[in-house]
Amino acid sequence: MSGKIGSVMLMRSKDFLEWADDWFGRMLKRSTIGRAVDRVFTDFFQWARINSLFPLHFGIMCCALEMGAASAPRFDAQRFGVIYRSTPRQCDILLVNGPVSKKLKPDLKRLYDQMADPKWVVAMGECSISGGPFWQSYSIIEGVDKFIPVDVYIPGCPVRPEAMIEGIVKLQDKIRAERKGVLTEDWIRK
């Protein structure tokens, strides 16, 4: 809550950051320096976004084992910038595999909502894409895309590490195709 005492204006830190983002954004968009900064830094931010992917793996069944194999030295998913994190606030990819039950749905949705923007979802394996062999079960949701937007589907049962790496490369291509400018999004605080 903002207020005034005498001639001093008081702001909470959140209000100050919103004000600063708005003020600096307007100043940069109007100036030629701002457009030059946008042109120079758009490529840098795009490169950094593509080459530093932090998935929050949500492995329930056998695909989680294949995900671990993709991170092992033989396949080495880290060479593509894939580093698994344990908390949704540090992640930008939700990597879902295994059947999603109706009881698990709110927790998975909460994890997705806790992730910072920009964020992407990868549905890995038949269970997360369509329910897999459990698709007619009373307690299984027939695809994670029923309640979360999915960016990349990786079919297989279980998904081989090579297919998982190919799915990550497809996600990198999708991010590369978005190509947003620095000034077209709220990049200062998000």
CA separation (Å) from 153 to 8, 91, 124, 185, 189?
54, 19, 6, 26, 30
Rounded Cα gap, residues 87 and 115, in angstroms: 9
Q: Note the pLDDT of residue 181.
A: 56
Rounded to 10 deg, the angle between the 161-178 and 62-71 helix axes is 70
pLDDT per residue as tens digits for the range 107-116:
999 989 888 8
Confidence grade of residue 50 (pLDDT, cut at 50, 70, 90) = confident
**Model pLDDT for residues 59-118, shown as the tens digit of each residue:** 778 777 787 787 778 877 777 778 888 888 888 888 888 888 889 899 999 989 888 888
d(CA 55, CA 166): 15
Q: What's at 157, amino acid-wise?
A: C
**By the 8 A CB rule, do 157 and 126 touch?**
yes
- Triad 71, 116, 151: Cα angle to 5°: 60
Q: What's the pTM? A: 0.71
Work out the number of other CB atoms within 10 angstroms of the CB of residue 177: 7
Gyration radius of the chain over CA positions = 20
Instruction: Say whether pLDDT at 145 is over 70.
Output: yes
Written as one string, the DSSP assignment of 30-66 is: HSHHHHHHHHHHHHHHHHHHHH-B-EEEEE-SHHHHH
- Model confidence at 150, in pLDDT bands (50, 70, 90)? very high
